[in-house]
Structure 1
């Protein structure tokens, strides 16, 4: 007579549940709520927010600031004013009456030779002319000699150096690239929206207490 196979005992009127079958693996929802996933979401949200703030700040500084506050910005391309102003630094200038300029001031002006490019150099001498214009001699701090020209300032004002913002020039030049600009304008807001929607979708309703009739 063969031995009968013993079936697992169950509570009266009860049925076997998934918990009775042993430990279960984590669900997709559990993985989505894991500490690593939360950290990654926070990092992605922080990066997107930082990029968006950078784009807004650059827009305000370059487009709104000069119109409202009257200052001008330019990026230093050479090392002629190092170490005070290095390549890639942003030079912030404020227009002042030419009569207020004195030796030792740093001005941004168009040189009178070659391509008449914009130059930011230190004034070594300034002379008023009978016709109301001013002639300035300039020099780059890192250059061995004076600039090989005399510039005539015929406008009522000239841009005088106020402050130097290190390294920002390279960032501004990068932001002005069409690919980077489009990524900041459209990519950063998209990441924020996706992050918020993902947070909403991952929310699960609270479980009711066992035996509750609600």
Structure 2
């Protein structure tokens, strides 16, 4: 026997329909992906432009400048002149007359011993006799004066005028075979991609304007 209980009016209230959390989360994820896509599309051209500008500047400093302005660039290999010039820094040197070399200058010259490698040190003493200029030098970070006296050959010496920090590390990295291959094929690809993005840049639709 089944008993039916009477239901009084108003005893039960209708529950509101449950929200679909999965649908809401999907919409949020879609908006986030759309926003991320827009940021990437906008950032890529600026990244390409920045890389191109940096490449042009480096090329101008290292390749064009020495021919047009007469300076030379050299990469510091040791820490003998730290902290003014650290390993990996690039020095910019300009020619001066040998007779103008004075104490306190930082000059680049070939040391007169061993393999006659290039050294960049500060002049601590100068001696001029019969048109010959001999110098003694010292690295700022070294405790002692260099154990040689160098005769500056020819009529020109090279004085350090500027230091470009860390550029030497970038130059060494660019000389690596793997990086060379990447630049050889990657740079044209980036350039083509930048041109295509510039030509076919997406325009905002009405729906995008309403959502924003």
Determine if the TM-score, normalized by the shorter chain, exceeds 0.5: yes
Whole-angstrom distance in 2 between the partners of 1:55 and 1:182: 16
Partner residue, 1:6: none
Q: What TM-score, normalized to structure 2?
A: 0.74
SS for the counterpart of 1:144 is coil
Aligned residues: 178
SS of the residue 2:44 aligns to: helix
Taking the aligned partners of 2:199 and 2:106, their CA distance within structure 1 comes to 55
RMSD, aligned CA: 2.6
**For structure 1, which runs of at least 5 residues remain unmatched after alignment?**
1-24, 208-214
Q: How does 1:130-145 map to 2 (within 5 A)?
A: 130=130, 132-145=131-144
Q: TM (normalized to structure 1)?
A: 0.74
Q: Where is the helix percentage greater, Structure 1 or Structure 2?
A: 2
Q: CA deviation at 1:182?
A: 4.2
Task: Tell me: CA distance 1:40–1:142, structure 2 relative to 1, closer, same or farther (3 Å).
Answer: same
* Residue 80 of structure 1: aligned partner: 80
Alpha-carbon distance between aligned partners in 2 of 1:83 and 1:46, rounded to the nearest angstrom = 34
> Within 5 A, what are the aligned runs for 1:1-214?
34-130=34-130, 132-198=131-197, 200-201=199-200, 203=202
- With over 3 angstroms needed to count, the CA separation of the structure-2 counterparts of 1:40 and 1:133, relative to structure 1, is same
Rate the CA distance shift 1:143–1:204 in 2: closer, same or farther, 3 A. Answer: closer
Task: Give how far 1:203 is off.
Answer: 4.4
- The alpha-carbon distance between structure 1 residues 199 and 90, as it changes in their structure 2 partners (threshold 3 A), is closer
3-state SS of paired residue (2:104):
coil
Q: Which has the higher contact order (CA 8 A, sep 6+)?
A: 1
Contact 2:45/2:197 (<8 A) preserved: no
Q: Where does structure 2 lack aligned partners over 5 or more consecutive residues?
A: 1-25, 207-212
SS at match of 1:87: coil
